């Protein structure tokens, strides 16, 4: 059974992956070739990297006194963003890169973050709740943050991270190998989780109509991280199964800002990272009109038309909420202190789930089959994880143990081989309709 699961996990995404990869690779080759012809790829990238950001308001008049001689090896970051990494990001919605700056620089970055924390420059992170037209802020108990890009005092206290802030290589490489992106600004947030269970509830980082953020890049700084510390980043590349990523020192995780549902599991030890949000131009983002929905299929019977409809971004985000309704609820409870505002957040979540369920009921029985298949894969993941827990090494990015809602009855001790194969086949078919960017 375990082997069957591993096999399916590997096979999963091949249909989707191969097509998207082929497309991505042909685009990369075109872009790379044309640049090489004109002035040499390396030279072009270097030249771009040295050009100041034209549209960064914070670059004007802001203090950039760097009080250190240490230099962040930014050329290593450039080398880390390969065509393969970008193809992976495009095909799966996320990519993991290890050994980005090397352990010495990664450690220096951690020291800077601790310095910012100790200098009192961090504030509590809040979940933003929009209810009845008003935004309510719900504090997370143990998670502290500082907006480096927006605050000169933070940049001065963290000169190495400020070097990253002033550099544009990351965006340039992503634009180069994912030509559908037009990233032209970035913002860095530093984060320190004090441990003691600090975590983030399930969320998407942004919405296409809200702002221009398209790629989230998180760089982890935790030299002594162990599985018993928890605090993994859990991604939900639905309909592919959830994936847990260990927050290891010098690891960069990239994912699709508006389309990748994610959370941070409770951390039992202090945990640090910084997040870079890479954005497309404001004018483009602000001027974007909502895309009209595809015409709904004639019936809710399973069909390519139904999967295409359910997997378009505006609908898929709601289907994700249904698929993970229970875990979503638990993640809200785990991330916030027990109080009225948390109760309010739970109420809002339940109302949304009920409304989505009702609105999408016309897409039954296909939707139910999709959610059941996701639950089957999830149950298999849980069974596999339970069996392998002790033996698993550190530093892995593995299929996770979340719990989907949907009809998983009878699957708690792991589905049968046949159920699993059927579920994987369906999910692969549906996944072919997901576009990450
Ligand atoms: O700390 C992490 O791994 C992710 C944090 C996160 O999701 C966020 O800041 O939006
Ligand atoms: Fe996030």
Atom of ligand 1 nearest to the CA of 205: 10
Whether 27 has a pLDDT exceeding 70, the answer reads no
Q: What are the tens digits of pLDDT across the range 210-222? A: 899 999 999 999 9
**pLDDT score at 383:** 83
Ligand 1 neighbour 190 (Cβ under 6 A): no
CB atoms within 10 A of CB 219: 24
- Lowest pLDDT segment from 16-25, 166-175, 289-298: 16-25
The CATH code of the domain at 2-286 is 2.60.120.620
Residue of minimum CA distance from atom 3 in ligand 1: 233
Own/partner long-range contacts of 292-301 (Cβ < 8 Å, ≥24 apart): 296/362, 296/363, 297/363, 300/362, 300/363, 300/364, 300/365, 300/366, 300/367, 301/365, 301/366
- pLDDT the model gives residue 53: 37
pLDDT 10s digits, 194-207 = 999 999 999 999 99
Q: Are 313 and 259 in contact (CB under 8 A)?
A: yes
Cα angle 370-371-375, degrees, rounded to a multiple of 5 = 120
Percent of the chain residues topping a pLDDT of 70: 76
User: Cα angle at 28 between 24 and 30, to 5 degrees?
Assistant: 120
200 lines ligand 1 (CB under 6 A): yes
Domain boundaries, the chain: 2-286, 304-389+396-431
How many A from CA of 59 to the centre of ligand 1? 25
C-beta 262 within 6 A of ligand 1: yes
Mean pLDDT of the chain: 82
Q: Please tell me the distance between residue 265's alpha carbon and the centre of ligand 2 in angstroms.
A: 12
Centre a 10 Å sphere on the Cβ of residue 265 and count the other Cβ atoms it contains: 20
Residue 174 Cβ < 6 Å to ligand 1: no
Identify the weakest region by mean pLDDT among 256-270, 288-302, 404-418: 404-418
Q: Give every strand in the sheet of 134-147, ordered side by side.
A: 94-97, 251-256, 213-220, 271-280, 183-193, 134-147, 123-131
**What is the position in ligand 1's atom list of the atom closest to the CA of 247?**
3
> What is the rounded distance in angstroms from the CA atom of residue 317 to the CA atom of residue 259?
7
Candidates 182, 435, 181, 214; CA nearest to 313 is 435
pLDDT of residue 396: 56
Residue ranges near ligand 2 (ion) with Cβ within 5 Å: 205
Q: What is the pLDDT of residue 34?
A: 33
């Amino acid at each position: 059974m375990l082997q069957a699961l591993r096999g399916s996990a590997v096979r999963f995404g091949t249909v989707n992956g191969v097509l998207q990869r082929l497309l991505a690779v042909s685009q990369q080759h075109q872009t790379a070739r044309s640049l090489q012809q004109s002035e040499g790829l390396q030279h072009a990238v270097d030249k771009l990297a040295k050009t100041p950001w034209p549209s960064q308001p914070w670059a004007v008049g802001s203090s950039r006194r760097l009080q250190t001689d240490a230099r962040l090896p930014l050329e290593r970051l450039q080398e880390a963003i390969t065509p393969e990494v970008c193809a992976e990001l495009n095909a799966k919605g996320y990519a993991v890169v290890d050994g980005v700056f090397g352990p010495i620089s990664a450690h220096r970055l951690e020291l800077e973050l601790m310095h910012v924390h100790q200098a009192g420059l961090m504030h509590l992170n809040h979940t933003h709740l929009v209810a009845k037209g008003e935004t309510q802020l719900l504090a997370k108990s143990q998670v502290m943050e500082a907006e480096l890009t927006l605050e000169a005092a933070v940049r001065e206290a963290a000169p190495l991270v400020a070097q990253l802030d002033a550099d544009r290589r990351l965006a340039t490489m992503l634009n180069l190998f994912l030509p559908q992106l037009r990233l032209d600004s970035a913002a860095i947030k530093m984060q320190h989780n004090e441990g003691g269970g600090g975590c983030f509830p399930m969320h998407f980082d942004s919405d296409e109509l809200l702002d221009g953020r398209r790629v989230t890049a998180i760089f982890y700084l935790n030299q002594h991280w162990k599985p018993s510390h928890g605090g993994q980043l859990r991604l939900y590349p639905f309909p592919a199964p959830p994936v847990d990523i260990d927050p290891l020192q010098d690891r960069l995780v990239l994912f699709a800002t508006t389309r990748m549902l994610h959370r941070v599991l409770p951390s039992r030890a202090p945990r640090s990272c910084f997040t870079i949000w890479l954005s497309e131009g404001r004018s483009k983002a602000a001027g974007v009109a909502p895309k009209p929905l595809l015409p709904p299929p004639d019936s809710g019977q399973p069909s390519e038309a139904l999967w295409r409809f359910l997997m378009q971004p505006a609908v898929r985000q709601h289907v994700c909420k249904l698929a993970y309704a229970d875990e979503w609820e638990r993640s809200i409870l785990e991330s916030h202190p027990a109080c009225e505002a948390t109760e309010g957040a739970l109420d809002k979540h339940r109302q949304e789930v009920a409304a989505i369920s009702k609105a999408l009921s016309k897409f039954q029985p296909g939707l139910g089959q999709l959610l059941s298949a996701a639950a089957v894969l999830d149950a298999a993941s849980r069974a596999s994880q339970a069996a392998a827990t002790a033996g698993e090494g550190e530093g892995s990015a593995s299929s996770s143990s979340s719990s989907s809602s949907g009809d998983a009855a009878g699957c708690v001790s792991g589905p049968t081989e046949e159920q699993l194969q059927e579920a994987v086949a369906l999910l692969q078919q549906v996944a072919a309709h997901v576009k990450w960017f």
